[in-house]
Amino acid sequence: MTRAERLRQQANDPSFENVWQELTWRGLVHVSTDEAALEEALAGEPISYYCGFDPTAPSLHLGHLVQLLLMRRLQLAGHRPVALVGGATGLIGDPRQTSERVLNTREVVQEWVESLRAQIEPYLAFEGDNGARMVNNLDWTASMSALDFLREVGKNFRVGTMVKKEIVAKRLHSEEGISYTEFSYQVLQGNDFLELYRQHGVTLQSGGSDQWGNLTSGTELIRKVEGAHVHALGTPLITNSDGTKFGKSEGNAIWLDADMCSPYAFYQFWLNTADADVVDRLKVFTFLTRAEIEEYAAKVDAEPFRREAQKRLAWEVTALAHGEEAARTVIDASAAVFGGGDLSEVDVDVLSAVLAELPQADAAQWGAAGKPTAVELLVSTGLVSSNSEARRTIKEGGASVNNVKVADAEQVFGADEALAGRYLLVRRGKKNMAAADLRSGE
């Protein structure tokens, strides 16, 4: 099934009375404007809503995926999504918790705008009565002079209110402080909501709860300028049950771009979800129904060692982000590497990503020819501590290279013996594995 076919098969859970109740059950509502009024609006005639994505990096990450899936759930309820890619706000970047952002060039920002647009498109349907729109806030910001901006927009904001916004207050009391540029970001975002209200009748903006100050800048601006009451919805910042930050793997962000985070690494991230977190992740990141998720919750309690919930989660989100073919490929690759299957059948790019997760050989410990012996492979990968231990392991039948048992301690491994002419999977026993790249010594 292609990503387009999966998109067409997605549906909200009919066991809920309305989409607001489902969003609440899934833990997607942390803060909002008038809750009763917003529930009524979402349960009534279709409304237009938007979420903004700033090109401060060449790829979206898991925090953005929360927003994309929220947008899709609202679209499935009949509402009209507007995805905003911030060609203007991306030139500034919203204030960070700790320090000032480094400003990127206009050329880089434009390149990233196109990258983000391409990443957003597969998550929303652009056809039909409630087909999605894609907009760029540079279209209405670029032609506005500084004087126009101050007279028409800035006059509606009060500095006393602006400095009370959580992130601004935190930065004001930091050693570095905050520049006027980043301080003005909330005015720009408020103006975006006003423009979308005027152009497309948008009456709801969603975003992370850490953006609440920016979200409400728009609702207040529309109230002052247009005399209308619109809505904002802030999703919770997702954290792991152990207190660590969600969306990171070994300190690195989990990106949606396959070139920045391979489908294999992406799949493994979800597969490694803790038992205490997996049910919540199923609620937020999949379209499984409440009944299905409750079944997996029972399996986690009864047979956690089977990790069925983690496997389903990893499959669903990887297929969503990268397609079912990519998801099957990484599953097959994992089975071949960790289960001792036929490695020659594994796609070379996926194989490279899998082996990159293993301990790596130190090519400096090989002979000058760059073709290691079996003994050198075992020692250089750290699977054994000495040549004598390597020989003993081989003699006892406990060593294999590319899932083929090694019988000769002096066997040499070159390009002819390697996968794709370069990769070697070195194994001691069943569970101790490492990798060697013959080109790393070149």
Terminal CA-CA length for the chain = 42
Q: What is the DSSP letter of 396?
A: T
Strand residue runs (E) in 137-274: 202-208, 231-235, 248-249, 252-253
Q: What is the pLDDT of residue 338?
A: 82
Q: How many CB atoms lie within 10 A of CB 283?
A: 17
Q: Give the pLDDT confidence score for residue 441 in this predicted structure.
A: 57
Q: What residue type is assigned to position 122 of the chain?
A: P
Contacts 24+ apart (CB under 8 A), 125-128: 125/7, 125/8, 125/75
Residues 112-154 pLDDT 10s: 999 999 999 999 999 999 999 999 999 999 999 999 999 999 9
DSSP strands (E only) in 273-328: none
Burial class (CB in 10 A: 0-12, 13-18, 19+), 108: middle
DSSP string, 77-107: TT-EEEEEE-TTGGGT-PPPSSSPPPPPPHH
State pTM to two decimals: 0.89
In this structure, how many other beta carbons lie within 10 angstroms of the beta carbon of residue 415? 12
Say how many CA atoms lie within 13 Å of 398 toward its Cβ: 15
Q: Which domains, and CATH codes, for the chain?
A: 3-235 (3.40.50.620), 248-342 (1.10.240.10), 363-441 (3.10.290.10)
Sequence length of the chain is 442
pLDDT at 442: 57
* pLDDT of res. 399: 94
The number of helices, as runs of H, and strands, as runs of E, in the chain is: 20, 12
Q: 251 burial class (0-12, 13-18, 19+ CB within 10 angstroms)? A: exposed
Residue 426 β-bridge partners: 401, 434
C-alpha closest to that of 72 among 44, 45, 43, 51: 51
Please, how many CA atoms are within 13 Å of residue 333, restricted to the half-sphere of its CB? 25
In which residue ranges of the chain is pLDDT below 70? 249-251, 368, 441-442
Sequence-ordered list of residues with C-beta below 8 angstroms from that of 119, at least 6 positions apart, any chain: 59, 60, 256, 257
Q: Using an 8 Å Cβ cutoff, are 29 and 52 in contact?
A: no
d(CA 129, CA 144): 32
Distances (CA, A) of 23 to 84, 240, 280, 349, 369: 22, 20, 12, 38, 61
At residue 96, the pLDDT reads 79
pLDDT value at position 284?
A: 98
Element (H, E) at 50: strand 48-53
